[in-house]
Amino acid sequence: PQVDISSDNSSVTATLPSGDSVTVLLFGATVTSWKSAGGKKENLWLSEKAILDGSKPVRGGIPLVFPVFGPPPSDHATSSLPQHGFARNSRWEFLGKSTSESAGKGSAGDDSVTLDFGLGSSNLSDSAKQAWPFNFGLVYSVTLVKDVLTTNMTVRNEGTKPFECQVLFHSYLKVDDIANTTVSGLDSIEYVDKVNGASTQTETNKAVTLTGETDRVYKALKPEAKVVVKENGKPLYEVGRDNLDDVVVWNPWAEKAGGMGDFAPKDGYKQMICIESGAVSGWQKLDGGDSFEGAQIIKSVL
């Protein structure tokens, strides 16, 4: 059995011999589906009204945030960019795949596929180019092995002018019911509570529950600390990071979801939780020729 790759003008899907699969839309290089358990379990929440034609960022899956997280600060070089930057609004190039297949029976867990996507200054719309006039190159690699999805971003300053950027994987994880969902691994971590006037708080809960609109930037996690999403006390996802120290926990809840035209069904906020690994509480400063690399590793636990 071999890794199967199918692609058309708008997306690429890779399927492992086990049946696990991942689909990446070229618009935004947005992962729109990730199935584990041999293809039986969808791990990402995607709005039924998500717009996939490139006219608007995708509501669900894993949109990419670059070079700014949230509304750009007015006193920063990103100030004229849209919220979360242009990566999720741009059409990326599919650079190719690499696969490794296990030799024999019984080792199917070793099968893997990596899909690479690229975005550079030359791919940007004229307005984005003007709004952020730097020469950059992004390589985004999506790696699927049995039950694990790794997303890896390399940012390179291809010019001579230094620039500052932020990077984040805006992952909408699918849950059965947010009422039975907890998040652990955040205890004693400092966070900015964007729902509560951007006040700084320290997490005191071993298991964080969500009971209303939630928008928090947890900062400076230890590199090895995993964020674990549990349902009814049992682990559902383990989210690890490489060189990314911040984790955003977001759920719009009823009222905000109700106000989003592309959010459906309206009570869909009960079936999702965004756990977003990134480097967003400060800026990564890259001199000409410098690179920054960061990754998120999500394990789907059965």
Under a CB-based contact definition with an 8 Å cutoff, are residues 65 and 30 in contact? no
CB 32 to ligand BG6: min, Å:
14
| Of 223, 81, 241, residue with least CA distance to 164 | 81
- Euclidean distance between CA atoms 182 and 208, whole angstroms: 5
Residue type (1 letter), 271: Q
**Catalytic residue set:** 170, 276
Q: For residues 191 and 237, which CB has a smaller minimum distance to ligand BG6 in the complex? A: 191
Q: What is the DSSP string of 86-130?
A: SGGGSBPEEEEEEEE--SSTT-GGG-EEEEEEEEEGGGS-HHHHH
Q: Of 231-250, which residues contact ligand BG6 (CB under 6 A)?
A: 248, 250
Q: Which of 276, 295, 298, 299 binds ligand BG6 (CB under 6 A)?
A: 276
| Cβ-based nearer residue to ligand BG6, 97 or 256 | 256
> Would you say 71 or 133 has its CB closer to ligand BG6?
71
Residue 163 or 269: the one with the smaller Cβ distance to ligand BG6 is: 269
Residue type, 198: A
Measuring CA to CA, how many Å separate 21 from each of 6, 149, 259? 11, 10, 32
> Shortest distance, CB of residue 12 to ligand BG6, whole angstroms?
23
Contacting residue, 19, 38, 70, 288, with ligand BG6 by CB under 6 A: 70
Cα(64)–Cα(138) distance, integer angstroms: 11
Rounded Cα distance between 258 and 275, Å, is 21
User: ∠48-25-146 over CA atoms, to 5°?
Assistant: 90
Q: Which is nearer to ligand BG6, 57 or 61 (CB)?
A: 57
Does 166 count as an annotated binding residue? no
Question: Which of residues 113 and 192 has its CB atom nearest to ligand BG6 in the complex?
Answer: 192
91 carries a ligand binding annotation: no
**Degrees, nearest 5: CA angle 210-211-214:** 60
Minimum distance from residue 198 beta carbon to ligand BG6 (Å): 10
CB of 18 to ligand BG6, least distance (A): 32
**In angstroms, what is the minimal distance from the CB of 211 to ligand BG6?**
18
72 Cβ partners below 8 Å, 6+ apart?
78, 79, 80, 81, 83, 85
Cα(126)–Cα(83) distance, rounded to whole angstroms? 18
- 84 in contact with ligand BG6 (CB under 6 A): yes
The answer on whether 241 is annotated among ligand-binding residues is no
Q: How many residues does the chain have?
A: 302
Q: How many residues bind ligand BG6 (CB under 6 A)?
A: 10
When CB distances to ligand BG6 are compared, the closest residue is 250
Collapse the DSSP code of 145 into the 3-class scheme (helix H, G, I; strand E, B; otherwise coil) and give the result: strand
Q: Shortest approach of ligand BG6 to residue 49 CB, angstroms? A: 13
Among 215, 231, 238, 246, binds ligand BG6 (CB under 6 A): 215
List the one residue from 170, 230, 241, 299 that touches ligand BG6 (CB under 6 A).
170
Candidates 2, 6, 83, 127; binder of ligand BG6 (CB under 6 A) is 83
Residues contributing to the annotated binding site for substrate: 59, 83, 88
Residues that bind ligand BG6 (CB under 6 A): 57, 70, 83-84, 170, 194, 215, 248, 250, 276
